[in-house]
Structure 1
Amino acid sequence: MLVGALSAASVALVALVASTVIVVNTPQEEPPTGGTDLTAFYDSALHARPHPAEVDIVDHPLYDVAMPEPVDCELPELRTGSDDSWEAFANEAGTCLNDLWAPVMDELGLDPDLPEITVTNDALATDTDDSFTLAYYESDRGLITVVLPSVRQVGEQIPDDHEAHVWLALMGHEYAHHVQYATGILGISHDLRRRAGSEADELDTLRRTELQAECMAGVGLRGLTDPDGDALDVVNEHFNGGGDLDTHGSAANRAFWLESGYTSPTVGGCNTYEASDRDVT
């Protein structure tokens, strides 16, 4: 799963971090009425569909839009032990992501409400010692929530000079679910999962949704960090370095899609719904 020189303890640690990303990267939803409980928490209601036209998640006009140009983003120094510092960091990251994605929304003729961002010291009741939530997006509330006890636990294993990039990618992934919601993609994905005839089909749709969000996290990294820096490598090292996951894809594919968002000329680089099966396993 990882480089063979790593000890068994290190392998277990990285796998744990990967499993937390699984829960982290999943927007909240009511449990599906059929199939397998994937411990994914979504809200499926599209209380205000942002686009009057029928949505095609394979051939969506979003994919023709050029990747947004970088924007200046001066994130405040993150003192991970401080609730106030975490809230300031998360909200400034959200402001930067709003600015980054605004031209894309304008190109599509959309004017969605901007998501609110908050932090909490309360873990989800469904969290366990092996799999816990770092952050989540609720479409019905337009809210991204960062779970502070979880991010602090994971952050203990991340070098201080890497944390800003890692947590910016986390915010970028959750913001990507907002982009999916605003464009109608998230609602169609939910419908496909509910109508899935098998667990395998349900998991396939979920993986495509989550890997697209990972790709859009790459868009955020490219647009908000130094293009000559090491943000991409840092995030892949800590979040996509090991641990193949049925719901979020293999480590190799997560890294592939993050890099696709970082390097592609159009948002079509994040069209996971048209990708071959081998790229979304």
Structure 2
Amino acid sequence: MGENRWGNTVLVCAALGLVAAAGVTAVRMSGDGDDQPGRVLSTVRTPMAPAAPSGVPETAEPTGPTASPPPNQDNAIVLQNKLYKIGRIPASRCKEPTVRATSPAKIKQYYTQFLGCLNKAWAPAIREAGFNFWAPKLVVYSGRSANTFCDLTSTAVYCDGTIYMSADYDLKNQTTYDPLWTRTTMAFLIAHEYGHHVQAMTGILQASHNRETILSSTSMQLLESRRRELQASCLSGVYLGADKQYFPARGSWLLKWKWTVRNRGDEWNPKRTHGNKTNHSRWSRAGFDAADPAACNTFTAKPAAVS
């Protein structure tokens, strides 16, 4: 979910790490009653290391005034997009795929079924907003040698109209950590990357990237990146919220999903491209509760809400 530029292509990678101390730690959360104990990945050994956003130098963040405001057209696309006016998206009426992450073939089957459900829900919503819908391609790969020019340095990537998912990551989670957490993580990741596809179809992804590239301050560039990424997580929640009755997203599955989105953040990453775990939880759950893209306008949010 960090971003690089390949020609005219915006590449979006999954780079949110689970925030924990070094090593694998058993964690029991407490608070609002929807937490579950779970194993979390190390911040040191996480396979979800981020890629730097395009145009961000490997230096400390400068301070001071930013560049002149981005073009009005790009501002209008991200701030006032027609996507925010369509209301609740329709439920796909799909159930959670029954296959489990026990082999690359089964992982591919899971994601293929899930992608079909995402298409079913988002196609009428995108058309209602006045945009052309097209289904993204899906590549489930092992290792780092997928046949693509995209930089697959993360476990989930949206690049050039294709969603890339790492089977190795899911296999490791299934065999080493909590199988239920593996399922909620798979559901979150595929729907998050699809959120970037929604951004691409509605012009938000390119317009936001345009806004970022003319900002002279690294801190402002990273803020723009976090707005994109938190919106994709919110859109992930929108799909699940729309389909929660049929999926079904309830009981232990929903509790674990809430735990999952609450414990994904980029506090460990000096680049801060994706948002801290508190804001990630808030936006993901806002999308789930509303099932409406209007809940996901991160571009009008105050900086503290997308920190």
The alpha-carbon deviation at position 228 of structure 1 amounts to 3.8
Where 1:196 maps in the other structure, the secondary structure is coil
CA contact (8 A) 1:20 1:134 kept: yes
Q: CA deviation at 1:177?
A: 0.3
| Structure with more helix by fraction | 1
1:1-16 matches, cutoff 5 A: 9-10=24-25, 13-16=40-43
Q: Does 1:85 find its partner at 2:106?
A: yes
Query: Residue 56 of structure 1 aligns to a residue in which SS?
Result: helix
The 8 Å contact of residues 180 and 253 in structure 2, kept in 1 or not, is answered as no
Question: Normalising by the residue count of structure 1, what TM-score does the alignment of the two structures yield?
Answer: 0.78
Deviates more, 1:65-74 or 1:270-279: 65-74
Q: Give how far 1:114 is off.
A: 0.6
Q: Deviations along 1:183-208, whole A, 9 cap, x unmatched? A: 00000111112111111011000000
State the one-letter code of the partner of 2:113: E
Q: Which residue of 2 aligns with 1:49?
A: none
Counterpart-to-counterpart distance in 2, 1:7 and 1:17: 6
**Which of the residues 255, 280, 288 maps onto 1:233?**
255
Q: Distance in 1 between matches of 2:138 and 2:218?
A: 33
Amino acid at match of 1:115: P
Q: Tell me by how many angstroms 1:123 deviates.
A: 2.2
Select which of 203, 214, 224 maps to 1:195. 214
Q: Does 1:258 align with 2:284?
A: yes
What is the Cα deviation at residue 168 of structure 1?
A: 1.1
Using the size of structure 2 for normalisation, the TM-score is: 0.72
Q: Partners in 1 of 2:200 and 2:261 — Cα distance?
A: 24
Alpha-carbon distance between aligned partners in 2 of 1:275 and 1:251, rounded to the nearest angstrom = 16
Q: Paired residue for 1:119?
A: 140
Note closer, same or farther for the CA distance 1:114–1:233 as it changes in structure 2 (3 Å cut): same
1:77 CA drift (Å): 2.5
Structure 1 stretches of 4+ moved >6 Å? none
Is the alpha carbon distance of 1:8 and 1:94 closer, same or farther for their aligned partners in structure 2, counting shifts above 3 Å? closer
AA in 2 matched with 1:16? T
Structure 1: runs of 5 or more not aligned: 39-51, 126-130
8 Å CA contact 2:180–2:256 kept in 1: the answer is no
Structure 1 Cα separation of the partners of residues 45 and 255 of structure 2: 15
Q: Is the 8 A contact 2:99 2:106 kept in 1?
A: yes
> 3-state DSSP class of the match of 1:146?
strand
Offset, 1:242: 5.7
Deviates more, 1:230-239 or 1:204-213: 230-239
How many residue pairs get matched? 253
Deviation string for 1:6-38 (max 9, x for gaps)?
Answer: 997517944539965574xx8xx9x63x33259
Structure 2: 5+ residue runs without aligned partners?
A: 1-17, 28-38, 60-72, 147-151
For residue 107 of structure 1, the aligned residue among 108, 122, 128 is 128
